[in-house]
Amino acid sequence: MHIIFLAPHFPSNQRQFVRALAGIGARVSGIGETPLSHLDHEIKGWLYGYEQVPSVGNEEAVYQAVRRIQDRGPWVDRFEATIESHMLLAARVRERAKIPGISSETINLCRDKFQMKQFLRARGVPCARNAAVNNAEKAWQFVKETGYPVILKPRDGAGAHATYRIDNAEQLKQALAETGLSHSQNAFFTMEEFIEGHEGFYDTLTCNGQVIFDGICHYYPNVLEAMRTRWISPQIVLTNRIDSPGYQPLRQFGERVIDLFQLGTTATHMEWFVGDKGLTFSEIGARPPGCRLWDLYNYANDFDLYTEWARALMFGQASPQPSRRFSAGLISLRPSQDGHVAGYSGREEMFAKYNSWILAAHFPPEGSPTSPVGAGYLAHAWVWVRHPDYDACRAMLDDIGQTVKMWAH
């Protein structure tokens, strides 16, 4: 099988998809922005061919690269992308080049927050009330109908990027100004009621529409609070208690959403809330989660999810055997202020206390510039851990967050 993979070396874990495909015998042609001569020997050894383009966000350039690969042969069976911002472009190119895969219509439905929830609500899936908002007038009208608090976010955004929780008129005015909605008549945002509750996500690998692996993670605290509060060291924790009865409604809920979207062979990432209104859908992507979460799944389950994904694509079948031996989690450690890293406290004590449970850690060197608070879970210092007991894993992360500090000046 000949598979084209978009952006094979960046971000860094992209290489794992290429490794897995090559490891089971696929011919992998890459399309990327970096010259072939700049790729390392390992990734060049996995690639059957490579095409450089000015930008992987340029649809025409990517399409022409695909056509050159098709003309050289052998027959191209799949064209795959795993980054949210690449998904729609890849689907459009697939259709133009007559390559099988998830349609652009489905991918667009998985990216447009307004259409996504309208589609699911019409089919009985509980979602927050929402509306398409392309100007200030529509935003004020939605608040008049629903009241505060509300959420304002891009219709095609990922995570909490450019997302606002709005509790009053003054905050709405500020958000409208910062997003450009106050003077635009053609912006691309959605506004929805704010739902109180605990937030997490449900990840799967599907093969021919059937879930063959699933995982459940929890956010502590919820994403919006985490991305806007410097002193918080936010966590993402993977449970190894997924077979407990309490998780069955969530697994059934997630599988129903996947079925409604008619997703065939793909990774999926679905965000959810649970609270006074019960279990509520937030959003879904036809892609793996960010933050290198698949690496945590591998550490927790003693298997290689990248290879199982490759087998599903190449053979149309795969039989993952996750051990569920460990819970695993990551904690992001923010700098004390914006500026440059001055040093750390509590780091050596952490390694001495938890060394056997620490999987990986990243501490930007002294003198390096800091990233903004909301830059993401892996944008600062971070630590990955695992433990057979979920509660012990959480307690370990709590302790690390309270005792390890990243200082800046």
- Tens digits of residue pLDDT in 289-327: 999 999 999 999 999 999 999 999 999 999 999 999 999
* pLDDT exceeds cutoff 60 at 159: no
* pLDDT exceeds cutoff 90 at 354: yes
Dihedral sign (CA 294, 296, 298, 300) = negative
Looking up residue 254, the CATH number of its domain turns out to be: 3.30.470.20
Q: What is the mean pLDDT of the chain?
A: 95
218 in any annotated domain: yes
Each residue of 70-93: pLDDT tens digit?
999 999 999 999 999 999 999 999
From 143, 163, 193, give the residue that closes a domain: 193
Looking up residue 189, the CATH number of its domain turns out to be: 3.30.1490.20
- Region 17-24: mean pLDDT is 98
pLDDT on residue 158? 62
109 in any annotated domain: no
Contact 300, 325 (CB under 8 A): yes
From 174, 193, 212, give the residue that closes a domain: 193
Residues 210 and 227 placed together within one structural domain of the fold: yes
Q: Which of 206, 199, 204, 222 is nearest to 214 (CA)?
A: 204
Residues 344 and 315 placed together within one structural domain of the fold: yes
- Region 253-266: mean pLDDT is 96
* pLDDT exceeds cutoff 80 at 23: yes
146 in any annotated domain: yes
* pLDDT exceeds cutoff 80 at 273: yes
27 in any annotated domain: yes
110 in any annotated domain: no
pLDDT on residue 161? 64
Residues 246 and 166 placed together within one structural domain of the fold: no
Residues 157 and 259 placed together within one structural domain of the fold: no
* pLDDT exceeds cutoff 90 at 244: yes
pLDDT on residue 188? 85
Looking up residue 37, the CATH number of its domain turns out to be: 3.40.50.20
What does pTM read for this prediction?
0.92
Each residue of 364-400: pLDDT tens digit?
999 999 999 989 999 999 999 999 999 999 999 999 9
Assign 113 a pLDDT band (cuts: 50, 70, 90). confident
pLDDT on residue 160? 60
- Region 243-271: mean pLDDT is 96
Domain count, the chain: 3
Owning domain of residue 247: 198-408
Each residue of 330-351: pLDDT tens digit?
999 999 999 999 999 999 999 9
Residues 233 and 377 placed together within one structural domain of the fold: yes
Residues 38 and 143 placed together within one structural domain of the fold: no
Each residue of 178-219: pLDDT tens digit?
888 888 777 789 999 998 899 999 999 999 999 999 999 999
Residues 163 and 209 placed together within one structural domain of the fold: no
